[in-house]
Amino acid sequence: MKIGLVGTFDVENFGDCLFPELYQHLLYQHRPDAVISLYSPAARCADILSFDHVNALPAQLHDTGVFDEDALILIGGETVGVGHSSGTFNFPRDSLSVYLRLWMMPVMATLDPDTRPTFCGLHCVGAIKMPATINAQVADVLAAANHCAFRDAFSVSWITSGDTAFAREIDPMFLIDQLTDAVGWQALAADHLPDGFADGAYIAAQISMGYGGNDLDAWCDAVAQIAQQTGYPVALLPICHFLEDEAFLAQAQTRLTQRGVRAALIAGRINVKHTAAIIGRSAGYIGSSLHGAVTAVAFAKPLAVLGHSMDGKHEGSLRAVGVSGAVTTTSAGLVACFETTAGSDLPAARIRAQNAARASFDRLLTAMDAPRDIGPIQAKKAQNTAQALHDREQDMMPVASFQEIKRRLLRALHRVPALSKPYRALRMRQKLRRATGS
């Protein structure tokens, strides 16, 4: 059986690049003869990814013939949405946005009688907030997928249409500790731990720009307090490289040192398994990465998570497995979060999360074996709605709008390395100044 895993594997982000590692591991346990390939929007392997080839997702609505797999599975991330952006994936207006490439095209491929895939699954994905009318159209298209489940209650509540609603499933990343044994994880962590940092005797900490109101001093105050209470040094671990974690954490290292904390930055874009190992072999995790938090739960470690809101992916995903008191929207709340989770029954939370995650994955496998029950009327409705969403997406970005002109200029700039490199460096300096006040 040929299986295509779909996701943003071209983004230098821990969670996005860890998904294929885990799904391949789990799929091989049940289908050892499976041939697994990857699909992503830009068809580029992120530096932190273990795989050496990624296929391109179709850029146009009717280009479904590129798939040669029997099954396509969209895995993880906030991938269900509509609309172009000027950020990581700045695609031309007359092509599909990153969102439609990710979730819509696998569905469309299974509805095309001239293409090979007969199964489309969306497993534990997240949705972005959109107007209710768009949510309903998205739901009508997703109803034609063989299997669709979201990772949090908020996404479930948004993507509905009439009687059409989708299940909430548990993120399989809670099973990440099963990729290898304790000895293997310890060896992976040791490859990158700073000198003098002992296994199980450090705090893994991470923050991305944009969290906690960009108040780095408040974050360092909280981390310093946790470090002093536990007596452990702090390993500053870049996770969201595309958000320039390393540069931000370099600033944090200086400020933590000034507070009397022994802190060391783990520099460079290390493989995702090494990143998971550093969290898993720590004495606790402080961060803004959802899958940093999920990894901490998988290894039964205390955690304190900084989110944008209490109705977002962090709180929603952890609440789904009964982990409470771990998320805050302010840096000042991190200390209480760490104390709360450290005083909780972490092994029980881990077992609960992993049992639910395995049951969730088993339901995906069951759906893959089930006969397809999409009739021609439902298929036609999905195809018509997909075309309407495609047209609506283009209307959302008028040709002469400031945003579209800006997007075109940015694409032209990034095609010229002699211009794009200094521009990126300038933007990085501006972001750091805004985020750190320096």
Asked if 170 contacts 321 with a C-beta cutoff of 8 angstroms, the reply is yes
Q: CB-based contacts of 94: which residues, under 8 Å, 6+ apart?
A: 394
- Give me the pLDDT at residue 291, please: 95
Strand 303-306 with 327-328, pairing: parallel
The tokens for 292 are 């940093």
Residue 38, classified by CB atoms within 10 Å of its CB into exposed (0-12), middle (13-18) or buried (19+), is buried
Q: Residue 174 in 3-state DSSP? A: helix
Mark whether 405 and 391 lie in a shared domain. Answer: no
C-alpha triplet 85, 88, 90: angle, nearest 5°:
45
Mark whether 393 and 410 lie in a shared domain. Answer: no
- Give me the pLDDT at residue 438, please: 61
Mark whether 136 and 224 lie in a shared domain. Answer: no
Q: What is the dihedral of CA 348, 352, 354, 359, to 10 degrees?
A: 160
Asked if 253 contacts 234 with a C-beta cutoff of 8 angstroms, the reply is no
Domain boundary among 320, 353, 386: 353
Q: Model's pTM, two decimal places?
A: 0.92
Handedness of CA 21, 23, 24, 26 (dihedral sign): positive
Inter-axis angle of helices 290-298 and 272-280, to 10 degrees? Answer: 60
Mark whether 58 and 145 lie in a shared domain. Answer: yes
Closest Cα partner for 278 from 175, 185, 150, 391?
185
Inter-axis angle of helices 216-230 and 245-258, to 10 degrees? Answer: 60
Beta partners for residue 56, in sequence order:
40
Mark whether 143 and 217 lie in a shared domain. Answer: no
Mark whether 196 and 160 lie in a shared domain. Answer: no
Mark whether 245 and 337 lie in a shared domain. Answer: yes
Domain extent at residue 417 = 398-438
Number of domains in the chain: 3
Domain boundary among 353, 380, 410: 353
- Give me the pLDDT at residue 401, please: 92
CATH number of the domain enclosing 149: 3.40.50
Asked if 393 contacts 101 with a C-beta cutoff of 8 angstroms, the reply is no
Domain boundary among 353, 369, 384: 353
d(CA 239, CA 6): 21
Which regions of 182-275 does DSSP assign to beta strands (E)? 203-205, 234-236, 263-265
Mark whether 345 and 438 lie in a shared domain. Answer: no
CATH number of the domain enclosing 299: 3.40.50.2000
Mark whether 187 and 333 lie in a shared domain. Answer: yes
Mark whether 17 and 146 lie in a shared domain. Answer: yes
d(CA 259, CA 224): 7
pLDDT digit string (tens) for the chain, length 438 residues: 999 999 999 999 999 999 999 999 999 999 999 999 999 999 999 999 999 999 999 999 999 999 999 999 999 889 999 999 888 899 999 999 999 999 999 999 999 888 899 999 999 999 999 999 999 999 999 999 999 999 988 899 999 999 999 999 999 999 999 999 999 999 999 999 999 999 999 999 999 998 998 899 999 999 999 999 999 999 999 999 998 899 999 999 999 999 999 999 999 999 999 999 999 999 999 999 999 999 999 999 999 999 998 888 899 889 889 999 999 999 999 999 999 999 999 999 999 999 999 999 999 999 999 988 888 889 999 999 999 999 999 999 999 899 999 999 989 888 888 877 787 778 777 777 777 766
d(CA 356, CA 347): 14
How far apart, in Å, are the Cα atoms of 316 and each of 115, 137, 336, 416? Answer: 36, 23, 19, 41
H/E stretch holding 5 reads strand 2-6
Asked if 28 contacts 254 with a C-beta cutoff of 8 angstroms, the reply is no
d(CA 404, CA 86): 8
- Give me the pLDDT at residue 348, please: 95
The tokens for 68 are 């040669």
d(CA 337, CA 353): 19
Mark whether 105 and 246 lie in a shared domain. Answer: no
Q: CB-based contacts of 375: which residues, under 8 Å, 6+ apart?
A: none
- Give me the pLDDT at residue 239, please: 96
Q: What secondary structure letter does DSSP report for 194?
A: P
Mark whether 315 and 371 lie in a shared domain. Answer: no
